[in-house]
Amino acid sequence: MLLALSGICFGVLTSWVNVRTDWVVLSKLIGVGWPWAAVGVAAAAMVSRARAVGALLALGGAVLGYYASDLALGVYTFIDFSDPRANSDPMSARTSVAWSDAIRDAARWLFVAVVVSVPLGQVAGALNRTDGWGLLARLFLPIGAAMESFGIRLPSELAVQPSPVSVATHTIIGIAGVVATAVLMTRHLAASTTWAGRHTRPPRARRKRTICSDVQVSCEGANGGGERSGD
Task: Write down the pLDDT at residue 73.
Answer: 93
Mean pLDDT for 100-121 is 96
Mean pLDDT for 155-167 is 87
* Residue 7 belongs to a domain: yes
Asked whether residue 106 falls in the same domain as residue 153, the answer is no
Instruction: List, for residues 37-66, the tens digit of each pLDDT value.
Output: 999 999 999 998 899 999 999 999 999 999
More confident residue, 222 or 88: 88
Check pLDDT > 60 for residue 5: yes
* Residue 119 belongs to a domain: yes
Asked whether residue 19 falls in the same domain as residue 111, the answer is yes
Angle, helices 99-125/51-73, rounded to nearest 10 degrees: 150
Asked whether residue 76 falls in the same domain as residue 150, the answer is no
What stretches of the chain show up as alpha helix (H) in DSSP? 2-19, 24-30, 33-45, 51-73, 85-88, 99-125, 132-148, 154-159, 164-198, 219-230
Yes or no: say if 124 and 51 are a contact pair by the CB < 8 Å rule.
Answer: yes
* Residue 225 belongs to a domain: no
Check pLDDT > 60 for residue 231: no
Asked whether residue 49 falls in the same domain as residue 121, the answer is yes
* Residue 69 belongs to a domain: yes
Check pLDDT > 90 for residue 72: yes
Task: Write down the pLDDT at residue 196.
Answer: 58
* Residue 183 belongs to a domain: yes
Instruction: List, for residues 187-210, the tens digit of each pLDDT value.
Output: 999 887 775 556 555 555 454 444
* Residue 55 belongs to a domain: yes
Task: Write down the pLDDT at residue 192.
Answer: 76
* Residue 33 belongs to a domain: yes
Q: Which of 122-131, 154-163, 210-219 has the lowest mean pLDDT?
A: 210-219
Asked whether residue 42 falls in the same domain as residue 114, the answer is yes
Yes or no: say if 77 and 96 are a contact pair by the CB < 8 Å rule.
Answer: yes
Asked whether residue 121 falls in the same domain as residue 75, the answer is yes
Task: Write down the pLDDT at residue 195.
Answer: 58
Task: Write down the pLDDT at residue 89.
Answer: 63
Task: Write down the pLDDT at residue 6.
Answer: 93
Asked whether residue 95 falls in the same domain as residue 140, the answer is no
Q: Which of the 8 DSSP states describes residue 79?
A: E
Q: Which of 17-21, 28-32, 136-140 has the highest mean pLDDT?
A: 136-140
What is the separation of C-alpha 139 from the centre of its chain, rounded to a whole number of angstroms? Answer: 8
Mean pLDDT for 2-13 is 94
The band of 217, judged by pLDDT with boundaries at 50, 70 and 90, is very low
Range of the domain at 155: 130-194
Kindly list the distances between the CA atom of residue 11 and the CA atoms of 30, 62, 98, 144, in Å, as whole numbers in the listed order.
10, 4, 20, 20
* Residue 215 belongs to a domain: no
Yes or no: say if 34 and 140 are a contact pair by the CB < 8 Å rule.
Answer: no
Asked whether residue 113 falls in the same domain as residue 9, the answer is yes
More confident residue, 230 or 17: 17
What is the number of other CB atoms lying within 10 angstroms of the CB of residue 192? 14
Asked whether residue 170 falls in the same domain as residue 112, the answer is no
Asked whether residue 26 falls in the same domain as residue 134, the answer is no
Asked whether residue 4 falls in the same domain as residue 108, the answer is yes
Asked whether residue 107 falls in the same domain as residue 162, the answer is no
Task: Write down the pLDDT at residue 22.
Answer: 77
Q: How many domains are contained in the chain? A: 2
